[in-house]
Amino acid sequence: MKLKSAIVAALVCSVAMPVPQVARADSDALIGLGVGAVIGACLAGACNNNRNRTTTTTTTRTPPPQQPARAPADEAVRTDQAALNHFGFPAGTPDGRMGRNTRNAIGNYQAYMGHPVTGQLNDFERGSLWNAYNRAQMGGGAAYPDVVAAEGQRGLLKAFEAESRGERYRPFGQTEPVPYYPPAPLPVPQPAPVPAAEPAPGLPNFSTTPTAASMADHCRSVEILTQANGQPMSPGAITDPNQALDEQFCGARGYAMSRGQQLIAGVQGVTDSQLREQCDGLVPTMAPVTADLAGRSPAEVTQAAASHVAQFQKPDAELLRVGEICLGVGYQTDKPDVALASSMLLVAVGAYPYGELFGHHLRNGFGTTQNAGAADGWYDTALGSLEQGADPAFLPTLSPQRVAVMRAALSGQAMPAATTGGLPTFISQGN
């Protein structure tokens, strides 16, 4: 009877005594253990002591840690990611932020191309990647069906690189195809030969029409020399100022083409041919200003360009977008006059770093008369604006290094190459 009374008292005590709440994630065994402890305490005589006791449970909430602010997106990194993804090196979503996936993709790209694996692209590697990406986007891979079939899209990287050296890339394991020789046509009766007249004495006279310099061919030659040197020129080791400036021009050209492609992706209802036609129309529109590119100072040309563009009555942001699109189109189609007109439009709306292109074009004679003196003035204007804080026009993350390279090359203080003998090398400022 006493045992029965004790059990009843224990049950009553367990109902009356407040029990702390147990988290849902705890095990059933732990919950049972807690209830058994309460019953055991009441059987031991503690029930009466606990009946009037109030149990207070204090819950401390820890605020979630603040997420660090994300770095702003970098357009150069975004293009890197898009190009790497295209060629089968997964870099994740092109968000313009350098992360582990992007570094791994860069390392895989460098290993595939035989470059040192650093996880960071240098100017030469980025330029080669972007140029190949632009060519692939424009259908350049159609010339290499065997490469794509054997190695996928990434094989185009090596195919385009070999092409720049005047070679034909053959995928690994591919045997030399047996050439096809069509059957010889049946002989056609020929009239009796007429004796040729005796040649008149005198010097040969070959009337040839001069062709415009090709920017694409020029950059392919520059790339070959960069590969031969092992890396692009750096500010402290410039042995060839012309090559150093050419590398910066070709890097800017590649970036402009990539930037133009990004903007074109947002243009609706316009075909590629219509886009090229509209950009061609920019040449006569800006001709009144570009005609004086070499004959007037950069300050005078810039002021005249701003006055000329003001009559269009368009927002600067819209004109800037038009200029960037057509600049990319001009370089993709290898039309220096379109590139010059687009650059003039960009400078006219206050984007002075684009004046760097005038320096490159004047120095090499792309779309204008070759004039080294006028080129120096435009280089100084563009680089000065960057040094004063203007937004970079090309390769923003590498802008300080680009400025240093061009300043060193323009100063003429080239570092002499180490030699052990042989004929002296004279560095010429001309082409």
Residue 155 lies in a domain: yes
Q: 252 and 321: one domain?
A: yes
Residue 93 lies in a domain: yes
* Domain stops at, among 107, 136, 165: 165
Residue 227 lies in a domain: yes
Residue 384 CB neighbour total at 10 angstroms: 15
Q: Where would I find the beta strands (DSSP E) of 353-406?
A: none
Contacts of 41 (CB under 8 A, 6+ apart): 13, 47, 50
Residue 14 lies in a domain: no
Q: 290 and 404: one domain?
A: yes
Residue 41 lies in a domain: no
Q: 309 and 405: one domain?
A: yes
Q: 128 and 221: one domain?
A: no
pLDDT band at 202 (very low <50, low <70, confident <90, very high): low
Tokens 């600049």 map to which residue? 327
Assess contact for 10 and 39: CB atoms under 8 A: yes
pLDDT band at 47 (very low <50, low <70, confident <90, very high): very low
Cα–Cα distance, 215 to 223 (Å, whole number): 12
Q: Phi and psi of 148, rounded to 5°? A: -65, -40
- Length of the chain measured in residues: 431
**Does position 26 have pLDDT exceeding 50, yes or no?**
no
**Does position 288 have pLDDT exceeding 80, yes or no?**
yes
Q: Which residue has the higher pLDDT, 8 or 368?
A: 368
Q: What is the mean pLDDT of residues 275-302?
A: 94
Residue 288 lies in a domain: yes
The pLDDT, as a whole number, for residue 122 is 87
pLDDT tens-digit readout, 122-146: 888 898 899 889 888 877 788 888 8
Contacts of 309 (CB under 8 A, 6+ apart): 319, 345, 348, 349
Assess contact for 146 and 174: CB atoms under 8 A: yes
Q: 231 and 121: one domain?
A: no
The pLDDT, as a whole number, for residue 73 is 83
Cα–Cα distance, 255 to 253 (Å, whole number): 5
**Does position 311 have pLDDT exceeding 90, yes or no?**
yes
* Domain stops at, among 165, 192, 227: 165
The model carries a pTM of 0.55
Q: 325 and 401: one domain?
A: yes
- Split into its structural domains, the chain has a count of 2
Residue 221 lies in a domain: yes
Q: 335 and 248: one domain?
A: yes
Q: 252 and 157: one domain?
A: no
In this structure, of 67-76, 175-184, 407-416, the range with the lowest mean pLDDT score is: 175-184
Indicate the average pLDDT of the chain: 77
Contacts of 350 (CB under 8 A, 6+ apart): 306, 316
Residue 430 lies in a domain: no
Cα–Cα distance, 392 to 298 (Å, whole number): 18
Nearest Cα residue to 362 out of 382, 388, 392, 386: 382
Q: 121 and 222: one domain?
A: no
The pLDDT, as a whole number, for residue 36 is 36
Domain range enclosing 94: 75-165
Q: 273 and 390: one domain?
A: yes
**Does position 15 have pLDDT exceeding 70, yes or no?**
no
**Does position 334 have pLDDT exceeding 50, yes or no?**
yes
Secondary-structure percent of the chain, ordered helix, strand, coil, rounded to 5: 55, 0, 45
Q: 153 and 219: one domain?
A: no
Q: 345 and 232: one domain?
A: yes
